[in-house]
Amino acid sequence: GGPRGGGGGLVGNVSASAKEGGDSVFSMTSAKRRKVRDEALAGVAIPDGDGDDSAAHGAWAPPRAPTPVVARDDLSAAQKEYIEWHASRREANLRSRGKLKDEAEGSLVDAAVGVTKGQKETEKSLADAAVATSVFHGDSQTNYAGESWITAPKDRKKQNDTCYAPKRLVHTWLGHTKGVQAIRFFPKHGHLILSAGLDSTIKIWDVHTHGKCLRDYTAHQKALKDITFWNDGTRFVSTGWDKKVMLWDTETGRVISTVSSGSVANCVKSHPDDGQQNILLAGQTDKKIMQYDWNVGDVVQEYDQHLGAVNSLTFVDEGRRFVSTSDDKSIRVWEFGIPVTMKYIADPTMHSAPAVGLSPTGNWLACQSMDNRITIYSTKDKFRCNGKKVFKGHANAGYACQVGFSPDGKFLYSGDGDGKVFFWDWKTTRIVKSLKAHDKVTIGCEWHPLEQSKVATCSWDGTIKYWD
């Protein structure tokens, strides 16, 4: 209706136009146009009044406000565990495909669980500090002169320079509840002996007087792999299956520092130079050799060329070079500080050499070969194998039995898988003596640094024995 002319009339639904405020399809904004269209479609697709809420959730439903993201703190324990499990699986998968070479171990898991690096370090150091305990078992921590209990007695001197093979058992140290993995005499004096047990404790024992345990050191959560003293004996380093490498104060039993690279360190060696005791090499199961600096508290160099787990590290040439052996049946020689192999010794006839001993002169390396032999390599002349000197007669296959030289270089000694200890004459390569020392494998043996015919052995039967 209404008069025509002037063009001011309306065609169509007047009430709808009034409701929309006079907006037409041509004059409304695009956002409003979309909204109107969606409402129309939703109305057609789902007629109102079906009784269910399908109108709000159907394909044509109008857009809803975004749902709030679940905060990590609101998750249940089971959900958090699932997230961690899923992330660790994903990380293992990516790592196996070589995708995460530069990422630290566990970084994906930490990101998924929402742990920052700082939090993790703090938690770790707090956990270590809480776990680290040490008990002193001696009568007093100082002697009559007020010196520390680790001070070497003044009256112990080297009697003479010739060594003799021991014949009889003089003392047995008992105290580890499981096997003993390694023993080390106190450097230069040997008045104390340190032992690393598979019961995850380290103990230090008196050698000369009463022969009792003087101190326990407990912080590792799993069995120990290796221990090594600093040159002055005031500190020592331990490594275990819990992937931690710890620096201890021998006297107080305090953990000075803990480092870890996320892999088990099979062997640890401090630099032989007195001025560089803060430098530590650790040979790991992930084929790497890590060089730590205790002053920095972190890795300062990485030697990554082996194709199998690294089993032993030996410094030669006054600490300028070191030799590593590995499950890949090769021996590699490195310039200290330079992560490129200087000499690579591999031969189809070679077996892996999980234990290596250096002669007192530093000229020869004795390698415990897995075919029941000890092979000798020169450290001077291009690291050649000395074919004339092969020591056999013991059954060490399958065990990393420690091998070493007497302090005068006359004898070579080694444990074996049946619990025996063998002594060979260095010149003639003949067996001079063999002792049935233990019930299980004799994994470690050390010659006393001062007393000419005394040798300590340790075994997985849990005992440490002293022979003269």
**Token code pair at residue 71:** 């905060």
Three-state secondary-structure class, residue 342: strand
55 pLDDT band (50/70/90 cuts)? low
pLDDT at 1 over 70: no
pLDDT at 376 over 60: yes
pLDDT at 49 over 60: no
**Number of neighbours of residue 428 by Cβ within 10 angstroms:** 9
For residue 440, which of 405, 416, 407 has the smallest C-alpha distance?
Answer: 416
Mean pLDDT of the chain: 83
Residue 62 CA to residue 37 CA, distance in Å, equals 10
Residue 335 CA to residue 305 CA, distance in Å, equals 13
pTM, rounded to two decimals: 0.71
Could you say which DSSP state residue 104 is in?
A: P
**Token code pair at residue 227:** 């221990």
pLDDT at 457: 92
347 pLDDT band (50/70/90 cuts)? confident
pLDDT at 129: 54
pLDDT at 58 over 70: no
Residue found under tokens 């930490």 = 110
422 pLDDT band (50/70/90 cuts)? very high
Three-state secondary-structure class, residue 214: strand
pLDDT at 430 over 80: yes
Average pLDDT over residues 118-141: 67
pLDDT by residue (tens digit) across 242-259? 888 999 988 888 888 888
- Largest distance between two CA atoms of the chain: 136
Strands 420-425 and 411-415: what pairing?
antiparallel
Contact criterion met (CB below 8 Å) for 245 and 285: no
pLDDT at 47 over 90: no
pLDDT by residue (tens digit) across 84-126? 888 888 888 888 887 777 677 777 777 777 665 556 655 565 5
pLDDT at 27: 82
Contacts of 136 (CB under 8 A, 6+ apart): 149, 214, 215, 253
pLDDT by residue (tens digit) across 178-230? 899 999 998 888 889 999 999 889 999 988 888 888 888 888 888 999 999 98
Long-range contacts of residues 250-257, Cβ cutoff 8 Å, at least 24 apart: 250/150, 250/194, 250/204, 251/141, 251/148, 251/149, 251/150, 252/134, 253/133, 253/134, 253/135, 253/136, 253/215, 253/216, 253/217, 254/132, 254/134, 255/128, 255/129, 255/132, 255/219, 256/294, 257/294, 257/297
Residue 166 CA to residue 422 CA, distance in Å, equals 10
127 pLDDT band (50/70/90 cuts)? low
pLDDT at 20: 77
pLDDT at 117: 57
pLDDT at 458: 92
